[in-house]
Structure 1
Amino acid sequence: MSILVRAAEREDVPALVRLRLANAERHVQLDPVIYRVPDIETVRGHFEETLSAESKVLSAESKVVILVAEAAGEVVGMVEVVLLTDPPDHQILIPRRAAEIHTVVLDGQRGQGVGAALVMAAEQAAAERGVSILYAGIFAPNKEAVRFYSSAGFGPRGILLSKEQGAPSAS
């Protein structure tokens, strides 16, 4: 199968919305306490804003890069590279440009190289923006994602601990 990875365009918004919602539904099945299906109009608005003409003018400064994978002329996957803010000078971390990566491939297209092609293209796009560290945040229940990103060379980098807070008490 021939896979073309390219920058997402405004015409791709319906496909991007479909991918985001399919991914959300799949994740809700993994753990409905952690994941949700976002509002379709909010998702559409995010992609429309990110891919608007104004955003393209600022693309060198854009905080989000979206790439799509096409197979047989159909969008079958996407990857978002979300640039993170550099640590402030007062912190002890060595300043390194970092980004989060979020990859989605349609169920029927998995295992055919689509995800790998998207990750390679995302790594290139990130490097062009001076990114030296890519993070793939995966919650423990998603073993498939852990396997996928591990096969692409991602590995543990420290430990992220979390604690759920109760709602603030009313005084």
Structure 2
Amino acid sequence: MSILVRTAELRDVPALVRLRIANAERHIQLAPDIYRVPDAKAVRKYFEEVVSDGSKVLIPVAEVAGEVVGMAEVVMLAEPPGHQILVPRRGADIHTVVLDGHRGQGVGAALVAAAQRAAVDRGVSILYAGIFAPNEDAVGFYSAAGFGPRGILLSKEHQGPPAV
């Protein structure tokens, strides 16, 4: 199987929408209280904007036999402010999606490698792969690509106004 990885173009927007929706449906099975299926029109508008701009979001796509079967979305984070105590590093979030039927065939690995090269070319020194639900497949995938734990992300959800 030959995998072609290239930068997303406007003609890929319908495939990107399909990938986002498929990814949402898969994640809802993991944690329906965290994930949802977004509005397809809003997803289309988002991808049209970011693919046209290309400065804040990098999107490599993977083609197999002429069909887009996966994408990596690299979302550039804001430049670190000068007042913080952490050593300033340019960062980005990465999200990878591969359609069922193409997983386990090197598509995701090819996407992550391309995403890393594109991010480094933009000055990124750290990629974050946030996994917000028990998802052993995602943990295994990113771990195999060299990602590892970095600190602990704590959160607290509020239901209504804070107590006084």
CA drift of 1:42 comes to: 0.3
Query: Unaligned 5+ residue runs, structure 2?
Result: none
Partners of 2:80 and 2:123 in 1: how far apart?
Answer: 15
Alpha-carbon deviations, 1:100-126, whole Å to 9, x = none?
Answer: 000000011000000000000000000
Partners of 2:32 and 2:63 in 1: how far apart?
Answer: 30
User: Do structure 1's residue 68 and structure 2's residue 70 form an aligned pair?
Assistant: no
What's the RMSD between the two structures over aligned residues? 1.4
Query: Unaligned 5+ residue runs, structure 1?
Result: none
Contact 2:31 2:133 in 1 (8 A): no
Partners of 1:160 and 1:98 in 2: how far apart?
Answer: 16
Q: Give the fraction of aligned pairs with identical amino acids, expressed as a percent.
A: 75
What amino acid sits opposite 1:136 in the alignment? A
User: Do structure 1's residue 164 and structure 2's residue 157 form an aligned pair?
Assistant: yes
User: Do structure 1's residue 78 and structure 2's residue 78 form an aligned pair?
Assistant: no
**Alignment partner, residue 24 of structure 2:** 24
Q: Which moved more, 1:69-78 or 1:81-90?
A: 81-90
SS in 1 for 2:157: coil
Which of structure 1's runs of 4+ aligned residues deviate more than 2 A? Answer: none
**Alignment partner, residue 110 of structure 2:** 117
Partners of 1:145 and 1:51 in 2: how far apart?
Answer: 25
What TM-score, normalized by structure 1, do the two folds share? 0.93
* 1:8-157 matched pairs, under 5 angstroms: 8-52=8-52, 55=53, 59=54, 62-157=55-150
CA drift of 1:49 comes to: 1.0
CA drift of 1:139 comes to: 1.7
What TM-score, normalized by structure 2, do the two folds share? 0.96
